[in-house]
Every structure is written in C-alpha cells, then in structure tokens.
Amino acid sequence: MSIYAIAKRYDEKSPVSIEKYGQRLIGKTFRQVCEEDDGSEVSIIAESASNYGEEHEDKKRKGGLGEIIEERFFHYKTNGDSRPDFPEAGVELKVTPYKKNKNGTFVAKERLIITMIDYLTVVYETFEESHLWAKARLILLVYYLYKKEIENRLDYRIDYVKLFSPPEQDKRIIRHDFDVIVEKIREGKAHELSESDTLYLGAAPKAATSANRRRQPFSAELAKPRAFAFKSSYMTYVLNTYIVPGKATYEPIIKDGVVDSFEDYISGRIDDYKDCTVEDLCNKFNVDITKRPKNLEAMLAYRILGIKGNHAEEFVKANIAVKIIRIGQNNKIKENMSFPAFKFKELIEETWEDSAFGTYLRETRFLFVVYKYDLEGKLHLKGCQFWNMPYDDLENQVHTVWKKTKQVLSDGLKIKKINGAYTSNFPKASENPVSHVRPHGRDNRDVDELPDGRVYPKQCFWLNNSYILSQLDKRFLK
C-alpha cells in the first residue's frame, strides 16, 4: 500500500473499508472535521488550511460542504471527473441534508444531484454504460441535519453515513426514467425537459442564472443546463427505509418480484376493474359505502392496488399525486382541480423559477383515476392515466396566471363585498384556458394577511375543469 493510501487510513479499493472509515464522521460537525485535520496529512489543502472553513462556509459556494468531506476527511482533491469519487471501488460520495419535521418525521431537504447531463453525448449512451449509472450504482451517502436556526452551516451535524445501491425494482424504474429523458433529447426537446416527466430520476435544472443555456444535438433551440438527480421524494424514502434504523415504511404496490414498466403495471391493475360501479367496488373491497368518506373513490383505487391505507411506497418515492376525475353524463367535468392555499406575502417575494406552485407542477407526476356517471347517475370506474403538465402550458399559461397574481398583490388587491360574498381582481377562469385563482372553501373566516396589512380569505391556484378534460385520453369519453 502506498504512503498516500496509508495517510488516508482506508482501502481505496474496498467499498466496505470506505464506508467504515466514513462512519467516523457520525456526530461531528463540518467545523470539527476541519479542526481535526490540520492539512499536514496530504498537501492538497495545506496552503489554504487556515481560512479553508471560512471559504467553504459561504452558502454561495455550491458543494462547499461536500468539498470539506472530500478534501479534509477522505483527503482527495475535488475534481470534475466523470468517474465515481472512489474509482477503484466504484463508490460515489454524496453529502446531502435532511430535515426533521415538527411531527418527528424525517425528509430529504433537496434532490440529490448525480451528474450533469451532456446533451451532446448522452444520446449515444446506454443506461448500463452511462456516466449516470457509473456514479449512481453505489453511493456513500453522508446525511447531515439541516436546521434553519443554525446560521453557520459549518455547525451542521453529520448523523448518518451509509452505502446505498438502488434495489432491482428501483433500478428498473431509474433505467426507464433515463430512457425517457434521453429520448426527449433525441427528439430535439431538451428545452422542454421537466422533472415531472419521470418517477425517481429527474432532469433537474442546474444553472447559476436563469439565463444560462446550452446547445442540444437535434434542435437549434438552446436548453437550460440540467443534471441527472434523484428526486427529493425518492431521497426521503431512501432516508427512511435504508439509512435511519427503525423508521416505518409505506406499503408497496409491487410486493413480489419486479416489473419492467411500473406505469403499465398500475394501468393494468386499475383496468382489471374497468366499468365497475363504486357500489360494486365497495362490496368487493369491504368498504362501508353508507359512511361515504370524502376520499371514497381514491380509497377504492388504493384498494385495487393492494394498499390498505392511502399511501403507496412507489407513489411516495416518485412524488405521484393521485387525483380523482369524475366525468358527467354530458362528457364534461364539473369540478376544477385545487391546490394548497398560498401565502400572500410569500408569493410576492417569489421568482417564477422558485415559486411554490411552479415548482410543484414541475416536480409532480399525477395519476388521474377516472370515473364516469351513467344515465342513471351511477359512477363507474373507467381507468387511469399518468400525466404531467406539458412544458408550454406551464411556462406560458400558468406562468401568466402566477405573474398576474403577484402583480395584483403588489399593486394592492381590489376587493368588493356583494351580498356578503367577497370578489377581487385575482385571475379568473374566464381569463386563462389553464388556470385561475379563488378560495378553496366558502369559509371567509380562514384568512391571510395581505402585503398592505389587510386580511382576506385564503386563496388557491386551480386548474380549470375544461383544461383537465382536454388532457384526458379520449377513451374515457366513450
């Protein structure tokens, strides 16, 4: 073994040795890692050891905490090599934050960036031989606890260090996600990539400014720089299932074996009960229809998929939102689709790229479970459809509604009260083909403070019922 390897105190060729050495980090802050390494072991940081921590504390320095672990603990120089960080062991190092919610649950704070997408070369790669899989097949995850009240990020504490390799069923979904992303680039649509296109692996925006653009091979249109990344929903599942001991897990839909296409599998399971009435399904799955819970139709969809509760492991991992669509006898939809209420003061401080509503639609994939009323008023299951909002609809129409909402709040909301009901100049459904703003319920007591200090009933973004109808597969209208 070389003197350099001895200084590192771990075997560069052994994943187990790397993991065991890495677990010495548990319980330490990044500041302690710097203090315990004076820079004398290897020369890569000796010249800058005195102000190293201060330089890496800067939040504008992306990857600064990861560099500390690479250079001050594992003692190798940070680089842009496309190979894994420990090439002889095939191990990639990722330092990533998690949060602890008030209810005690753990969530990943952010997506896990794996590697940049080179639009010009990725179209010639297969999944197994891709730069992505070289870095994602075996990862040493270093989780640190993010706390908003801690001002200096060097004081964040490292709590978990563990090797992770995606299990076979996850790998199949990740492979399919990779193929979806690459196929879109081959179609000359790299500029239309969205994280909602896929399940576990996303094409995450990765640019210093929103104006940054890159060439793509099959279109003259420049595209945002993007990176392959495991979605934050997937990383939350990994954290609670593989990293934190003793944490509860959700029920899996796929309980035995593996399937090649998750979405086809879900569609097939739902289609097995096509044309059944809600009453038939209640009888089949022993659901008391007399109580008729508000989420009855969604509950029945979960029962069809073999889930006793209302949370499926794969949906949690993929950030899939189940939405029930009810089509009337006249082939129209009565209900608009609502989303959580927004905070007035928070919205006017947002940019579109970081907006809560825009981000939600970019990162969420939807499962529409479709029911239809017959001539006797009975509701029948018609099937399901996976959907995510098309790029143009999001970046044009929804953006317009969000921008007007922000402008209305900035200018001062115009309010009228007619016959006890409030009206305002928030964007209405008649003004935009895709989206509008209005309250979720009729309770005017549920209010929020406007930027000018007045209070007004809380508001939500909605998708128009006519727009949702236009997005449905025509087979549901027969």
452 to 200, 407, 415: CA distances (angstroms): 42, 13, 13
Helix (H, G, I), strand (E, B) or coil at 85: coil
223 & 103 share domain: yes
Same domain, yes or no: 463 and 356: yes
Q: What is the pLDDT of residue 443?
A: 62
The edge-to-edge listing of strands for the beta sheet with 337-342 is 337-342, 459-463, 435-438
Is the distance from CB of 228 to CB of 201 less than 8 angstroms?
yes
Closest CA to 284 of 351, 185, 381: 381
Q: Are residues 217 and 346 located together in one domain of the fold?
A: no
What number of other Cβ atoms are within 10 A of residue 68's Cβ? Answer: 24
Inform me whether the pLDDT recorded for 202 exceeds 90. yes
* CA dist 31 → 35, 66, 149, 237 (Å): 6, 13, 17, 28
What digits encode the pLDDT tens for the residues 126-166? 999 999 999 999 999 999 999 999 999 999 999 999 999 99
Q: What angle do CA 116, 120, 125 make, to 5 degrees?
A: 80
Residue 99's pLDDT band (cuts 50, 70, 90): very high
Which has more confidence, 227 or 291?
A: 227
For 74-199, where are the alpha helices, taking DSSP H only?
119-122, 131-136, 168-186
| Residue 327 located in a structural domain | yes
Q: Are residues 57 and 201 in the same domain?
A: yes
Of 193-202, 334-343, 419-428, least confident by mean pLDDT is 419-428
Residues 6+ apart with CB under 8 A from 98: 106, 107, 108, 109, 143, 144, 145, 146, 159, 236, 239
Q: What is the mean pLDDT of residues 190-216?
A: 91
What is the structure's pLDDT at 209? Answer: 74
* Within-domain flag for 367: yes
**pLDDT tens digits, 141-150:** 999 999 999 9
Last residue of a domain, one of 243, 263, 279: 243
**Which tokens sit at 224?**
């945002």
Q: Are residues 20 and 164 in the same domain?
A: yes
Asked if 379 and 388 touch (Cβ cutoff 8 Å), the reply is no
Residue with tokens 């842009």: 80
Of 243, 274, 306, the residue at which a domain comes to its end is: 243
Q: Check residue 442 and give its pLDDT.
A: 66
Domains held by the chain: number: 2
Mean per-residue pLDDT over the chain, rounded: 91
Q: Are residues 325 and 235 in the same domain?
A: no
If phi > 0 it is left, if psi is from -120 to 50 it is alpha, else beta; for residue 169 that is alpha
Q: Is the pLDDT of residue 10 over 50?
A: yes
Q: Is residue 47 part of a domain?
A: yes
Task: With respect to residue 301, please indicate whether it lies within any of the assigned structural domains.
Answer: no
Could you tell me if residue 115 is inside a domain?
Answer: yes
Looking at the structure, tell me whether residues 195 and 55 fall in a common domain: yes
Identity of the amino acid at 266: I
- Domain extent, residue 199, equals 3-243
Last residue of a domain, one of 243, 273, 307: 243
Place of tokens 């009228």: 416
Q: Is residue 279 included in any domain, yes or no?
A: no
Confidence of residue 62 (pLDDT cuts 50, 70, 90): confident
Residue 80 phi, psi dihedral angles, 5° rounding: -100, 25
Distance CA 190, CA 204 (A): 12
Compute the average pLDDT of residues 94-110.
93
145 falls within a domain: yes
Compute, in degrees rounded to 10, the torsion defined by CA atoms 303, 307, 308, 310. -90
Kindly state the tokens that stand for 214.
């890159």
| Shared-domain flag, residues 9 and 152 | yes
pLDDT one-digit tens code per residue, 412-444: 999 988 877 778 999 999 999 999 999 987 666
Alpha carbons 416 and 439: distance in angstroms, whole number: 15
Q: Please tell me whether residues 87 and 176 are part of one structural domain.
A: yes
Q: Are residues 225 and 326 in the same domain?
A: no
- Please check whether residues 237 and 337 belong to one and the same domain: no
Task: Report if residue 183 sits inside a domain.
Answer: yes
CATH number of the domain encompassing residue 220: 3.40.600.10
Q: Is the dihedral of CA 345, 348, 351, 352 positive or negative?
A: positive
Same domain, 238 and 336: no
pLDDT digits (tens, 9 = 90+) for 391-402: 999 999 999 999
Contacts of 109 (CB under 8 A, 6+ apart): 96, 97, 98, 99, 146, 232
